[in-house]
A and B are shown apart, each in its own frame.
Chain A
Amino acid sequence: MSAEVGQFALILALLLALVQSVAPLWGAHRGDGVLMAVGRQAAILQAAFVALAFGCLAYAFVTCDFSVALAAQHSNTAQPTPYRFAATWGNHEGSMLLWVLILALCGGVLAAFGGTLRETLQARVLGIQGLLAASFHGFLLFTSNPFLRLDPAPLEGRELNPLLQDPGLVLHPPILYAGYVGFSVAFCFAVAALIEGRVDAAWARWVRPWVLAAWVPLTLGITLGSAWAYYELGWGGWWFWDPVENASLMPWLLGTALLHSSLVLERRGALVSWTVLLCILTFSFSLMGTFLVRSGILTSVHAFAVDPERGVYVLGIIALTTGLSLCLYAWRAPAIRSGALFQPLSREGGITLNNLFLTALCATVFLGTFSPVFIEMVNNDKISVGPPYYAKTFVPLAIPLMVLVVLGPVLNWKRDDLRALGKRLWMPAVLAIVVLVLAVMFNGLTGLLTAAGLGLAAWLVAGSGLVLARRWWAGRAYLGRSIRTTPRAMFGLTLAHAGLGLLVLGITGVTAWDSDKVLSMRLGDTVAFAGRTLTLTAFETVNGPNYEARQARFEVKGQGKPYQLSSEKRFYASAQSQTTEAGIRVSPLGNLYVSVGDESPNGVIVRLWDHPLIIWIWIGGFTMALGGAVSLSDRRLRLGAAVRNAPAAVQTAAAE
């Protein structure tokens, strides 16, 4: 029964999305308040019906209703309930439904709480949003219907891919999708602004919180994904330049650029058409991120079922949304009044440079990801682009950007003076140089790159702290009050930039000093590795809820108290596949990573890795996301309050 309810809810949602697209666009054109109100109601109702459809599908999964084909393929009675729930979005159709659900919820929120927005702008944003929603409802219903029935229903279902049966993966897709879909709102705002031919500070004040609200989960999702790959795939790596990872990195890079350029637009009214273009591009890359991986154009460990027919539909959606909006941009953007002028050395100048670097970074990732497709098309060669390409292109572009990060927040708006800037920045600069010199003294000149990485990390962390320190030092007579009145956005900025520093620290540490060893071990064997000794104390078969595992236990001595570490290879009988659960000892200075491989007559293959400082990569990522969240909670960004407080906000920022 639930499947039919879900199916009808989805069909109704499609019809409502059509209403939501036509009524407010026409209403805004004619100045008809009733039609615009209809659009708002349609958006809220649409969100409710998609939520109902999603609930029906989740219900079928959790209750193991195997007459629903999708549940029969991905749910299994032996699977623990949280994973049965997570299996709802652990497949192509279900994840699409989740995607559409988040899209509809964004529309609902916009309709319900967008009251302070100019009515025609809100109506146009909702109208574009409705068009997007309608095309995805169509994609779901016509090419990937999640509610198809099976007759007769099987007694037992197949299982969710065991690799995905992990707490991190229960959260990873919804969070990542919240990021991808969140950028759709900025996209709708951009298209609506192009239709209106009007981009102003009020527009930017509305776009910025939405960009931030998408950027935070995207950052969180990428970090979670990287952590999951590290402990679940059993390769000991944290980033593989896999197409799917790249697909999430590209909108992140552009979204970060957008985050900064919309700040310039809000405060100074500059970079107008560039910001609009970024809104369009960021969402286009989000679309590619969600869809190209499932169209069969690229392969990856993450890819869902490959189906060229779906690929054509997806390409159609991308061609329509991105193509039409870019055409609209080419037609309308030249007429939009360009913004205030600024000197090259100013905060606007710094942010422009930041945008250039981020866009270039995105371009290198794009070329690396998609050049195999194009090259094969031209001369039929199959090539593979790997980490060496990114080491040569991405890293040299990322390093100067990291140096610039500290400059931005201490620069003045409009114009600045180089000598004054030097005076402001001497403390972190001295600290970074001290770290660099110390590192060279310990490692010698061969480790110059490592030393530079450590110096860069120090520069970033100290330079970000400087923003707060300068403000509090200026108000040191009333320290308590000046801490309390510091806007949360400033704390957010400091956290996000310092998080980047921690990320650099982690990357430098693990790139420079990691070591590994592969060997065969028998029971009782002891091996010395990275200042520790490991003894294989037990190797046996254990049973989990839906798997059988070969578990190896190690006793580790050295570097503190002795401890136990275990790693296992799991066999999932009903899914006919196996996964590796690595044993990881986490510490701030470095992780010990143990993973068991195949058994052979000479014992079991054991891989050992020493990963110095690697944990800071994820701490850095989470800190950045936290910074974004803190910034989002700032009063000035909260909806509604923005309009009246705006002039005051500019004042505080300029005065610092």
Chain B
Amino acid sequence: MRRLLFLAPVAVLVLVLIGFFFGLKRDPSLLPSMMIGKAVPAFSLPPVRPEDRGFATTDLGGEPMLINYYASWCAACRIEHPLLMQLREQGVILHGIDWKDKPELGYKWIAERGDPYVRVGSDESGRAGIDMGVSAVPETFVIDKQGRVRYRHVGAVTREVWDTTLRPLMEKLRAES
């Protein structure tokens, strides 16, 4: 009986190790977005550029594209901006939404630094952002040919994020029918 007591630590260890072994297989960092696989909620946003027609859900679909939420007051947007300009030169379809920002300021921002967007809409109240689950800018969504959300990236798009995640995904979506 006394001997069994001394064996107890070994028994506990075996149980714990079995737990850890199976625990290795899970990926706890996975935080799925509610929107993945769903159609982008309908919106129709007023223009940011003067004499422009704004940005609406009808502009989506046909080709895979990116929607980038930005704001003139957002510092991390400054960091990703040069890369967005390069993407535009490469012909990536990139739309912008100026989030919780006065459209004049949002326009001034792209006018001064360069305008990487095909269509830009102003979401001054942040309503369109809420539907997409945006809580801070910058955020970037990958939209497929059917206008469904396929990926959400929170924070600045870096060279690494583009090369390892977004570009391969865009190429895959382009190949889809």
A296 to B14, CA, bound (A): 20
Interface contact A578-B76, CB-CB below 8 Å: yes
- Cβ-neighbour of B73 out of A280, A297, A600 (below 8 A): A600
For chain B, residues 57 to 77, give those with C-beta under 8 angstroms from any C-beta of chain A: 73-76
Contact assessment for B136 and A598 in the assembled complex, using a CB-CB cutoff below 8 Å:
yes
Q: Does B28 contact A (CB under 8 A)?
A: yes
Contact A373 B19 (CB under 8 A): yes
Query: Which of these, B10, B27, B100, B156, contacts A600 with CB under 8 Å?
Result: B100
Contact A571 B79 (CB under 8 A): yes
Considering only residues 137-152 of chain A, those with a C-beta below 8 Å from chain B are none
Specify the chain A residue showing the minimal Cβ separation from B137: A598
Cβ-based interface call for A344 (8 A): no
Q: Which of B1-9, B111-119, B145-153, B163-171 lies on the face that meets chain A?
A: B1-9
Counting chain B residues whose Cβ lies within 8 A of the other chain, the interface size class is 20 to 34
- A576 lies within 8 A of B6 (CB): no
Whether the pair B20, A373 counts as a contact (CB closer than 8 A) is yes
Nearest Cβ distance between residue B21 and chain A, in whole angstroms? 6
Which chain A residues lie closer than 8 Å to B20 at the CB level? Answer: 292, 295, 297, 315, 318, 373
B101 and A601 form a contact (CB under 8 A) = yes
Task: Please give the number of chain A residues whose Cβ is less than 8 angstroms from any Cβ of chain B in the complex.
Answer: 40
A170 to chain B, nearest CB (A): 26
Chain B residues with CB under 8 Å of A280's CB are: 9
A80 interface hit (Cβ, 8 Å):
no
> When chains A and B are docked, how far (Å) is the Cα of A277 from the Cα of B2?
15
Minimum distance in angstroms from A412 CB to a CB of chain B: 30
Chain A contacts of B10 at CB under 8 A? 323, 326-327, 329-330
In the complex where A326-B9, A374-B19 touch, is A571 in contact with B76 (Cβ < 8 A)?
A: yes
Q: Name the prevailing secondary structure of the B interface residues.
A: helix
In the complex, B34 has a CB within 8 A of chain A: no
Partner-binding segment picked from A43-51, A305-313, A487-495, A635-643:
A305-313
The answer to whether B6 touches A333, judged by C-beta atoms less than 8 angstroms apart, is yes
CB pair B23–A297 under 8 Å, yes or no, is yes
Is the beta-carbon distance between A308 and B76 smaller than 8 angstroms? no
CA of A536 to CA of B103, assembled, Å: 27
Residues from chain A with a CB closer than 8 A to the CB of B74 are 598-599
Within 8 A of B (CB), among A458-509: none
Q: Which residues of A contact B17 (CB under 8 A)?
A: 315, 318-319, 323
- Contact partners of B9 in chain A: CB under 8 A: 277, 280-281, 326, 329-330
B1-42 CB mask vs A (1 if < 8 Å, else 0) is 011001101100110110111111111110000000000000
Does A376 count as interface, using CB distance less than 8 angstroms?
A: yes
Q: List 9 A-B contacts (CB under 8 A).
A: A292-B20, A299-B28, A323-B13, A323-B14, A330-B9, A334-B2, A374-B19, A569-B75, A599-B74
Nearest 7 interchain pairs by C-beta: A373-B23, A299-B28, A297-B23, A576-B158, A599-B73, A330-B6, A311-B24
Q: Given known contacts A374-B23, A571-B75, what 16 new A-B pairs fall within 8 Å (CB)? A: A292-B20, A297-B28, A299-B28, A306-B27, A312-B21, A319-B13, A330-B3, A330-B7, A330-B9, A376-B26, A573-B79, A576-B156, A576-B160, A598-B74, A600-B73, A601-B105
List residues of chain B with CB under 8 Å of any chain A CB. Answer: 2-3, 6-7, 9-10, 13-14, 16-17, 19-29, 73-76, 79, 100-102, 105, 136, 156, 158, 160
